[in-house]
Amino acid sequence: MATVGIYEKALPKNISWKERLLMAKRLGFDFVEMSIDETDERLARLDWTKAERKTVIDAIHETEVKILSICLSGHRRFPFGSQDKEKRTIALEIMKKAIDLASDLGVRTIQLAGYDVYYEEKTVTSREYFIENLKRAVKMAAKKEVVLSIEIMDDPFMNSISKFLKLKKQIRSPYLQVYPDLGNLSAWNENDIGYELELGIDQISAIHLKDTIAVTEKFSGKFKEVPFGKGCVDFKGCLKTLKRLGYSGPFMIEMWSETSATPEHDIEKAKEFLMPYLKEAGYCE
């Protein structure tokens, strides 16, 4: 059986972690991926007290649903590649705190967004700062045995596994891996999806399941909130390729229904679409 998780932002926002994990369990998931995004509210999690962390740890033990990964998108606001030295300093502080939090909670993987910068102009310098600070981040993570995994993005800077592998040649560590989002990977027409998965199979720590609408000459693509089955992803082909290659890591359904009036219904619809593909590929009985 595949290990299948759900993104925190698919679940109702204003509930406790115990309630969130119980809902995930009721919906048939093995784990939840925590979000630490660029909002002050979620960045504040990095400063949770020991007591606040223990509350989450107790919820994990009581529900038997783990938090296997953290989606750390807070670096969009404070990027490794920023021209602003203060922002780069904050980026490394965020990284250290996230690694410490992951270590405390038993989180295996921190997913990093593959942006050098998000709100600033991209330059050779921003790329160089990104690589310098990612090297520092990987050293921090190695000390706590936490894996940093770069997501394949909605951005040309890191929109293929091939580009990640060029980066990996410069930072040769088992604590730096890749976290392909099948939607993001498929939205870029220059990507040969099967070849990309074959090329990076021994570097993949987890897989995001999400649909997208492809980039064209006249359209910048749609990378979020595309209903499953309405986008460009060949889920059957991708999952059969991963199975052939021997991939046995986790799958995480990425969707945004935390403000929906019917989040459980929305998640069930997503599962109804995806589970037959996982079963056909040999991931589910």
9 vs 1: CA distance, rounded Å:
24
pLDDT tens for each residue of 96-109: 999 999 999 999 99
Coil, strand or helix at 53? helix
Concatenating the DSSP letter of every residue in 200-220 gives HGGGB--EEE---B--BTTB-
285 has pLDDT over 80: no
Percentage helix, strand, coil for the chain under 3-state DSSP, each rounded to 5: 50, 15, 35
pLDDT tens for each residue of 229-274: 999 999 999 999 999 999 999 999 999 998 888 999 999 999 999 9
Model pLDDT, residue 258: 87
Q: Record the pTM.
A: 0.95
Between the two ends of the chain, the Cα-to-Cα distance in Å is 7
48 has pLDDT over 80: yes
Model pLDDT, residue 27: 97
Provide mean pLDDT across the span 211-233: 95
Provide mean pLDDT across the span 21-40: 97
CATH for 251: 3.20.20.150
Model pLDDT, residue 284: 85
Q: Which of 126, 67, 70 is CA-nearest to residue 94? A: 70
Q: Which residue range is the domain that position 226 belongs to?
A: 4-281
Percent residues over pLDDT 70 in the chain: 100
64 vs 243: CA distance, rounded Å:
27
Which is it for the CA torsion 50, 10, 246, 188, positive or negative?
negative
Query: From its phi and psi, is residue 246 left (phi > 0), alpha (psi between -120 and 50) or beta?
Result: left
What is the domain count for the chain?
1
pLDDT tens for each residue of 131-166: 999 999 999 999 999 999 999 999 999 999 999 999
Model pLDDT, residue 1: 85
pLDDT tens for each residue of 74-101: 999 999 999 999 999 999 999 999 999 9
Percent residues over pLDDT 90 in the chain: 96
